[in-house]
Chain A
Amino acid sequence: MFSYNLKLAVHSFKRAPSLYFLVVLTLSIGVGLLCANLALVSSMAGDPIPEKSDQLFHVSMNTWPTDQPDVEPFHILRYRDAMKIVESELPKNSAAFYASGVYARDAQSKSLKRFDSSVRATTPGFFALTNAPFAYGTGFAKSSGMEVVIGDELNKNIFAGKNSVGKTLELDGELLTIVGVLKPWTLRPLFYHATEGRAFNLTDDIYAPLETAIDLGWSIHAKSSSTDRYKSVSSTRDLNVFYLQAWVELENKTKQQAFQSYLDNYTQILKDAGDHPLDILNELRDVNDWLLQLKLVDQKILAFTLASILFLCVCIFNASSLLLSRFHSAKFEVGLRRAIGASNKQMLMQGITESVVLGVIAGIISLLLSWLFLKLSINFLPGLADIAVLEPRLLILGVLLALVTSVSSALYPLYRANRYTISAELK
């Protein structure tokens, strides 16, 4: 019966192509616009590391050395505070890092072309903590040493994407050996550094050992605060310079509580020693909680998404009224089929088959329109470039949404068509 219903649907489309074109177009625009918005919201509100987002915690501490700070704990830490975190054996993994930047070139290359590269100066636990995917080699094992891990993009730019483990990079005049190369890696949002408007940046080009970066004086390319004067990063270890972010991986509540106590004890000792005058206020926030606190989802985009949902409702009503007129004009055939033995259920299935076919067509067109809307958005708002991405699950959602809207827009017309008295339909 399904193939027969399919055949009837095609017949029906051939009879009123303009009307069905309008129905498909109406639904496609509605679904396409909503999908484009959902793509933006999904990028902004998505879970970047769902496999363990509830086990990774951002650490904020209240160790500002004077009595005039915010009541909120600070998201950047001093070197000695960060080291206290990394030293702890409670977390399964931990990382302390800061963002920097260097110019990079292949030390063996005759070309002097250098690539402006973002650097993550980090402790070695970063790779296991973030599940960084390695294409070649591994992460570095110590926080010091002239070794680096590079990202896929930089590897493509300098080494044409080949295995570059063992090769030497010249980074701002210093020679460092590559020990690992990452696969293409997208974190949306970039949870480990979602502050200062970086939430939708790409992952870094270079990952260097923290101590090495500090020793080499690689500058801080992110928010920093201090109560002490300093000339170079290399002199920050003992000063009140706040610039490191710290993350820990705590596998269960018990460890979480234990680590909270560990931090609280540490800051209490500091306070007792006169290091800071503040209340003990240390915060552990898991990935989603942390991203939520940072309010990454743009309120304007949320409002526009709501408007898109309402617009889709209008599209469904329009499509429904078009289909109602179509079904009304097909009353005779409905009556005839009912008279010769089709049940209401069979007529309903015929109508639903037709609307499913419409939904599939509308789904495909809506995905093309979504893509087009996103491209246009990027043209007008270049800042959306890294967010405006149609992920596979959104493609599936788009087709499903088109199917649901198509079937729902046909429900009332079908209900009406099945309420006609057969004898009246045949007159």
Chain B
Amino acid sequence: MNNVSRIYRNDTIQTHALRDFSLEVKSGEFVAVTGPSGSGKSTFLNVAGLLDTFDQGEYKLDGISVHGLKDDELSRLRNEKIGFIFQSYNLIPDYSIFDNVDMPLRYRGFNSAERKRRVEQALEKVGLASRAKYLPSQLSGGQQQRVAIARALAGEPKILLADEPTGNLDSLMARQVMELLHDLNQEGTTIIMVTHDADQAREVSRNIQIIDGQISDFKIYAPLQSLDKYKNEQSDESIKTPEVIDV
């Protein structure tokens, strides 16, 4: 993102939810976004996830400028490149676990065999392959969030956007979900996570703090695992210019 602004207007006031916001996220990074309520974290995540528009600036997702794209094109980008993890899981209660994870694949146009393979693979990854026929209500909160993660992973997206993924979980379940996210990051998945939890923010490779729609603080806590791996495999010259996903 480069100098992105998002302004909400009503009859009397206009609110700058994002103000000249610039951020670049590299492939394989695990970025935590923190900040007080109303600071613009969710707006940033919505704009990043193409769930909301922006008024000014430039935003490139995996090298594609999203400005001016039509609804169909934005939908395809969301479907192919982004996986969402919501605080309240957002599972459809009367669909089985399988059907919930299958949902984004339906809009991708895969045949049933391919969808089945991907759903089973995603559920396997989050350790819930045996619960495919269950309904969400038959699972614990932590398990439901893992289903939501499986749904986000099924489409093999470039980036996972997580909005307080442990906000509704007790500490034990929150730990399990965080471990799962770290495992996924270790495997190369790029993750941006909005959180209020300072400890979780310290566990990731980079933490940015947003206040009043702008980045106010920027900390690197840990090396990029995937980038380390990347570095080992590439020449010295390429280490200086690693593959990036622009967000």
Contact = CB atoms under 8 A, between A and B. Distances in A.
Interface of A: 1, 4, 11, 14-15, 332-333, 336-346, 421-423, 426
B86 A426 contact: yes
A4 B107 CA distance: 10
Given A4-B106, A337-B103, A343 B94 contact: no
Contacts of B95: 11
Interface in B70-102: 71-72, 75-76, 78-80, 84, 86, 90, 92, 94-95
Given A339-B78, A341-B108, A343-B71, A333 B51 contact: no
Interface in B166-187: none
25 contacts: A4-B106, A14-B94, A333-B92, A336-B92, A336-B103, A339-B49, A339-B78, A339-B84, A340-B79, A340-B84, A340-B107, A341-B76, A341-B78, A341-B80, A342-B75, A342-B107, A343-B71, A343-B72, A343-B76, A344-B71, A346-B75, A422-B46, A423-B46, A423-B51, A423-B52
Nearest to B152: A340
Contact of B107 (A332, A346, A421): A346
A341 B92 contact: no
Nearest to A343: B75
Contacts of A333: 92
B222 to A, nearest CB: 30
A341 B107 contact: yes
A389 to B, nearest CB: 45
Nearest to A4: B106
A342 B106 CA distance: 9
B213 interface: no
Nearest to A425: B51
Given A4-B106, A15-B94, A341 B52 contact: no
Contact of B106 (A1, A336, A426): A1
Contacts of B42: 423
A327 to B, nearest CB: 16
The binding surface of chain A is classed by DSSP as helix
Interface of B: 42, 46, 49, 51-52, 71-72, 75-76, 78-80, 84, 86, 90, 92, 94-95, 103-104, 106-109, 151, 155
Contacts of A332: 90
B86 A341 contact: no
B106 A422 contact: no
A421 B54 CA distance: 13
A336 B42 CA distance: 16
A341 B42 CA distance: 19
Nearest to B53: A421
Contact of A340 (B46, B52, B72, B78): B78
A341 B94 contact: no
B51 A341 contact: no
A212 to B, nearest CB: 77
A338 B107 CA distance: 10
Contacts of A344: 71-72, 75
A422 B51 contact: yes
Contacts of A342: 75, 79, 107
Contact of A421 (B52, B71, B79, B155): B52
Contacts of B78: 339-341
A422 B84 CA distance: 13
Contacts of B151: 340
Contacts of B80: 341
A4 B95 CA distance: 13
Contacts of A336: 90, 92, 103
Which has the most chain B C-beta neighbours within 10 Å: A337, A341, A423? A341
B52 to A, nearest CB: 5
B87 to A, nearest CB: 10
B71 A340 contact: no
Given A421-B52, A422-B51, A341 B90 contact: no
B104 A340 contact: yes
B75 A426 contact: no
B163 to A, nearest CB: 9
A340 B103 contact: yes
Contacts of B92: 333, 336
B53 to A, nearest CB: 9
A236 to B, nearest CB: 81
B97 to A, nearest CB: 15
Contacts of A422: 46, 51-52
A189 B76 CA distance: 59
Contact of B155 (A4, A339, A341, A345): A341
Nearest to B49: A339
A403 B80 CA distance: 35
Contacts of A4: 106
B139 to A, nearest CB: 18
Contacts of A343: 71-72, 75-76, 107
A338 B106 CA distance: 12
A344 B75 CA distance: 8
A337 B106 CA distance: 10
B243 to A, nearest CB: 24
A426 B94 contact: no
A421 B6 CA distance: 14
A333 B107 CA distance: 14
B132 to A, nearest CB: 17
A14 B95 CA distance: 12
Nearest to A342: B107
B15 to A, nearest CB: 15
Contacts of A11: 94-95
For the complex of A and B, the 10 pairs showing the least CB-CB separation, nearest first, are A341-B79, A343-B75, A340-B104, A423-B46, A423-B51, A422-B51, A341-B107, A423-B52, A343-B72, A344-B71
Contacts of B46: 422-423
A343 B71 CA distance: 6
A275 to B, nearest CB: 82
A11 B201 CA distance: 40
